A and B are shown apart, each in its own frame.
Chain A
Amino acid sequence: MVTIDAGIDDTVTERLQRRSGTLLWLSAAWIVLVVAAALLADLLPLPSPTDMDMLGRRMPPDATHWLGTDGLGRDMLSRIVFGARTSLTVGVVSPLVGLVLGGALGMLAGYFRGRFEGFVVGIMDALLAFPPLVLALAITAYVGQSVFNLTMVIGFLSIPPFARVARAMTLSLSRREFVTAARALGATHARILSRELFPNVLLPLVAFFLLAVAVTIVVEGALSLLGLGVPPPQPSWGSMIGEARDSLDIAPRLAFLPAGVMFMTVLSFNLVGDALRVITDPRQAAP
Chain B
Amino acid sequence: MSAEPLLSIDGLTVEIPTARGQLRAVHRVDLTLAAGGTLGVAGESGCGKTMLSRAVLQLLPRNARLQGRVMFDGQDLTRVVPKVLRRLRGKSIAVVFQDPTTSLNPVLTIGQQIIETLKVHLGLNGAAAARRSVELLAAVGIAAPEQRLRQYPHQLSGGMRQRAVIAIALSCEPKLLIADEPTTALDVTVQAQILDLLAREQRRRHMAMILITHDLSVLAGRTDEVAVMYAGRIVEHAPTTLLFADPRMPYTQALLAAIPKIDSPPHTPIPNIPGQPPDPTRRTSGCAFAPRCRYAIERCHGQEPGLSAPDPRGRRHACWLPLMNSPQPRATIEDAR
> Which chain A residues have a beta carbon within 8 Å of chain B's beta carbons?
3-4, 7-8, 10, 176-178, 180-188, 191, 195-196, 199-200, 203, 281-283, 285
Contact = CB atoms under 8 A, between A and B. Distances in A.
A180 B59 contact: yes
Given A4-B156, A188-B86, A178 B102 contact: yes
A199 B108 contact: yes
Interface stretch (B113-121, B215-223, B249-257): B113-121
Contacts of A4: 155-157, 160
Contact of A185 (B102, B106, B156, B168): B168
A184 B154 contact: no
Given A8-B151, A184-B59, A196 B86 contact: no
Given A184-B57, A184-B90, A195-B116, A10 B155 contact: yes
A283 B107 contact: yes
B91 interface: yes
B89 interface: yes
Nearest to B87: A186
Interface stretch (B93-101, B191-199, B316-324): B93-101
A3 B151 CA distance: 13
A229 B50 CA distance: 59
Contacts of A7: 151, 154-156
Contacts of B59: 180, 183-184
A178 B107 contact: no
Contact of A203 (B102, B107, B156): B107
Given A183-B59, A184-B94, A199-B107, A282 B157 contact: no
A186 B151 contact: no
Contacts of A180: 59, 97, 103
A196 B104 CA distance: 10
A245 B85 CA distance: 68
30 contacts: A3-B157, A4-B156, A4-B160, A7-B155, A7-B156, A10-B155, A176-B102, A177-B98, A177-B99, A177-B103, A178-B102, A178-B103, A180-B97, A180-B103, A183-B89, A184-B57, A184-B93, A184-B95, A186-B85, A186-B86, A186-B90, A186-B120, A187-B90, A187-B120, A200-B105, A200-B106, A203-B107, A281-B107, A282-B107, A283-B107
Contacts of B105: 178, 182, 196, 199-200
A78 B89 CA distance: 63
Contacts of B155: 4, 7-8, 10, 285
